[in-house]
Amino acid sequence: MDSQVLLVVTALIVYIVMTICALIPVCIVAKKSSKDCNFSRGTERIMSFCNCMAGGVFIAMCFLGLLPYAQDKTRKVLEDLNISTDFPAAEFTCILGFFLIMSVEQLILQCQQSKNLQKGTWDIPQNLDETERSSKLNYYKTVRDESASEQLLGKKPLEVVSPESPSILKDVSLPRIYQNVPMVTFKEEDSDESLSPGKIPQAGPNCSHHQVEMILKNKSGGTLRLALLYMAISIHSMFEGMALGLQTDQMKIFHLFFAIVFHEALIAFSVGITMAKQQLTLQQGVKYILIFSLAVPLGIFLGLIVQQAPGTGGSVASAIFQSLAAGIFLHVTFLELVPAELANSKDRMAKVAFHFLGFVAMALVTITMGSHH
């Protein structure tokens, strides 16, 4: 089979797999109350271990697939241009890709946080002078950040209480500017109650850190946050698809397809859960998922277009994008997949084992397919 036909087939398969994986939670979880974090611990562990395996697969793809291939393509381009240099051009471009996706991600997060700050959980009185407003604004921000930190560390549940509560604040002396500020205290008893205006549920195996983050944020502007989240994920997915579309070797196409479809299936499933929690109608969910799933195929076709560019210019563009794609994979692997899983204190060694299992599986696939190539 021609490599271009193979890439078109892989684009179609990835689109179908992502769509199905995202639709499963939308069709099932959406029927339940959006306020219930009732995923079983077993389900959470399975998804976590699968994500760890995906991280291991990405580690293998970075160092056994994309980076060596980018180095080879860059070397051939330099030879064609009669350029002799000891400068590691492929590695340099790879790190540029790393910083590129980091910059895009942080820019999106900065816009998102600015929106959250403008529409915070607590309103700041308008009749204060600039010093008092600044102090209260910093206090609110600190309370929110510390609340999130405590929840993610699995501490006791928190409760926001009014300063007028004498039983709690009778021994507390506050500066004047804090006298009307809500306080956050630890509750002594466990609580399984649903989210209420003054309470934040405890983070545990049945409520992921992404859900806690969404709970701690104000509901206003939620559509924008959702759009920014999906835009960031889509950019990642598009570049992953472009890395696949740039391949001309069928063995490398199979390698990269295996890594991408595994990772994107998990991402699509998580996106589907998030959409279900937003109380979207089934029609809305299907529409958004069909659009979201286009990211990887779009990247594949962009890679094909670059690959078909005539002459030396096409080879140079292909080598540059190969190296950028390697850097993007490094970012996704070592700043997102691996830290996100190891941040949780549960099943630490099991997670390391699943990372290694994913790496070994991909290495064996590389060796096996390479011996038959």
Model pLDDT, residue 95:
93
Give me the pLDDT at residue 369, please: 58
Residue 231: predicted pLDDT? 67
Give the residue-averaged pLDDT of 65-92.
Answer: 88
Of residues 198 and 27, which shows the higher confidence score? Answer: 27
140: pLDDT strictly greater than 60? no
Of 339 and 57, the structure prediction assigns the larger pLDDT to 339
Which pLDDT score, from 0 to 100, does residue 73 have? 84
Provide mean pLDDT across the span 322-331: 82
Pairwise CA distance, residues 16 & 82, whole Å: 44
Q: Report the pLDDT value the prediction gives residue 33, as an integer from 0 to 100.
A: 46
Cα gap 16→12, rounded to integer Å: 6
Average of per-residue pLDDT across 112-122: 64
Alpha carbons within 13 A on the beta-carbon side of 363: 10
Measure the CA–CA gap between 303 and 242, rounded to whole angstroms.
Answer: 5
Q: Confidence class of residue 87 from pLDDT cuts 50, 70 and 90?
A: very high
Confidence of residue 200 (pLDDT cuts 50, 70, 90): very low
Separation of alpha carbons 86 and 70, rounded Å:
16
pLDDT of residue 49: 84
Residue holding tokens 């490599």?
Answer: 3
pLDDT at 352 over 90: yes
Q: How confident is the model at residue 297 (pLDDT cuts 50, 70, 90)?
A: very high
SS3 202: coil
**What's the CA gap between 155 and 169, in Å, rounded?**
21
Contacts 24+ apart (CB under 8 A), 46-50: 47/266, 47/269, 47/270, 48/341, 48/344, 48/347, 48/351, 49/347, 49/350, 49/351, 49/354, 50/266
Predicted pLDDT at 34? 46
Is 80 exceeded by the pLDDT of residue 222?
A: no
- Residue boundaries of the structural domains of the chain: 3-115+221-371, 120-216
One-letter identity of residue 39: F
| Residues contacting 336, CB < 8 A, separation 6+ | none
Q: Among 113-127, 140-154, 254-268, 277-291, which stretch is predicted with the lowest mean pLDDT?
A: 140-154
Least confident of 19-33, 96-110, 118-132, 276-290: 118-132
pLDDT band at 277 (very low <50, low <70, confident <90, very high): low
Of 2-6, 116-120, 190-194, which gets the smallest average pLDDT? 190-194
Beta bridge partners of 186: 158
Q: Which residue has the tokens 């996106």?
A: 271
Q: Please give the full DSSP string across 70-93, using - where no structure is assigned.
A: HHHHHHHHHHHTT----S-HHHHH
Torsion of CA 46, 51, 57, 60, to 10 degrees: -130
Share of the chain above pLDDT 70, in %: 60
Q: Where are the alpha helices (DSSP H) in the chain?
A: 3-28, 41-60, 67-80, 89-118, 130-152, 166-169, 209-216, 222-245, 250-277, 282-292, 295-307, 311-332, 338-342, 348-371
Note the pLDDT tens digit of each residue in 300-324.
998 888 877 766 777 788 788 878 8
Question: Is the pLDDT confidence value at 330 over 80?
Answer: yes
Burial class (CB within 10 angstroms; exposed 0-12, middle 13-18, buried 19+) of 299: buried
**For residue 131, what pLDDT is reported?**
53
Which residues have a Cβ under 8 Å from the Cβ of 83 and sit 6 or more positions away?
none
Sign of CA dihedral 78, 79, 82, 84: positive
Which residue from 191, 199, 193, 229 is spatially nearest to 215, judged by alpha carbons?
199
Q: Residue 101 — very low, low, confident or very high, per pLDDT cuts 50/70/90?
A: confident
Residue-wise pLDDT for 24-69, tens only, equals 877 875 555 444 545 567 777 877 787 788 778 778 878 887 788 8
What is the pLDDT, as a whole number, of residue 221? 42
The pLDDT of residue 123: 45
Indicate the average pLDDT of the chain. 70
Are 143 and 184 contacting, i.e. CB atoms less than 8 angstroms apart?
yes
79 has which bridge partners? none
pLDDT band at residue 176 under the 50/70/90 scheme: very low
How far does CA 232 lie from the centroid of its chain? Answer: 8
pLDDT bin (cut points 50, 70, 90) of residue 228 is low
Least trusted range by pLDDT, from 55-69, 125-139, 359-373: 125-139
